[in-house]
Chain A
Amino acid sequence: NAGVTQTPKFQVLKTGQSMTLQCAQDMNHNSMYWYRQDPGMGLRLIYYSASEGTTDKGEVPNGYNVSRLNKREFSLRLESAAPSQTSVYFCASTHGGQAYYEQYFGPGTRLTVT
């Protein structure tokens, strides 16, 4: 049981490049989330998917798109990376449709945009 896995662990992009961060969970959770964490700040919600087939914006969605590929997988895409998107990205999942159920987090992807 791997829990929540994220790929890649590290990535360096040039401004304007695109990339997709992958997330998968093997706990049969309904809801999945993408957060970013910046120095001196808490985690901020980018997008979430309350159930398969649905996605919604969080606190900081600009510059990102998401796809809930199936119940297991939730990807985050940066179409045209900007230095302001340099951050650590965490994916999370929960049993229920609401976030107040315990969230399980992946190990994170450290992204640098130059």
Chain B
Amino acid sequence: DQQVKQNSPSLSVQEGRISILNCDYTNSMFDYFLWYKKYPAEGPTFLISISSIKDKNEDGRFTVFLNKSAKHLSLHIVPSQPGDSAVYFCAAMEGYNNDMRFGAGTRLTVKP
């Protein structure tokens, strides 16, 4: 069962505009959420995280929003840059459980 879902396989935005990547989850026990970025032929790299006690976390151009009641989180990138073009994975986990669940990823293309 897919407990973490990224329903948009791809997203294309213009340079300088906002990119919004979405993620939904079904397991209400998840209490920590992460976003990873992946370039071709490389391993994923950590981008930003949020715990369930917060509804927003910001790091430079990247902001993650968490809506627990809707079991939904989103990643905002402002402004988007061509170097942001990559696959973005949403991941979630429950407390001290090491079993992190990943979404299928969204391929972001930022056009110059």
Contact = CB atoms under 8 A, between A and B. Distances in A.
A58 B102 CA distance: 13
Chain B: interface residue count, which band?
20 to 34
Contacts of B32: 100
A54 to B, nearest CB: 11
B34 interface: yes
Contact of A45 (B43, B44, B89, B98): B98
Interface string A81-114: 0000000001010000111101111111000000
Interface string B78-102: 0000000000010101001111111
B46 A42 contact: no
Interface in B41-85: 41-46, 49, 51
A42 B102 contact: yes
Nearest to A91: B43
B46 A102 contact: yes
Contacts of A56: 98
A59 B43 contact: no
A58 B98 CA distance: 8
Chain A: interface residue count, which band?
20 to 34
Which residue of B46, B89, B97, B98 has the most chain A CB atoms within 10 A of its CB atom?
Answer: B98
Contacts of A45: 98-100
A40 interface: yes
Contacts of B98: 31, 33, 45, 48, 50, 56, 58, 98-99
Contacts of B43: 4, 90, 92, 105-108
A42 B4 contact: yes
Contacts of A42: 4, 6, 89, 91, 101-105
Nearest to A35: B102
A42 B38 CA distance: 11
Nearest to A45: B99
Interface of A: 4, 31, 33, 40-45, 48, 50, 56, 58-59, 90, 92, 97-100, 102-108
The 7 tightest CB contacts between A and B, nearest first, are: A42-B102, A105-B43, A102-B46, A43-B102, A100-B32, A99-B98, A99-B100
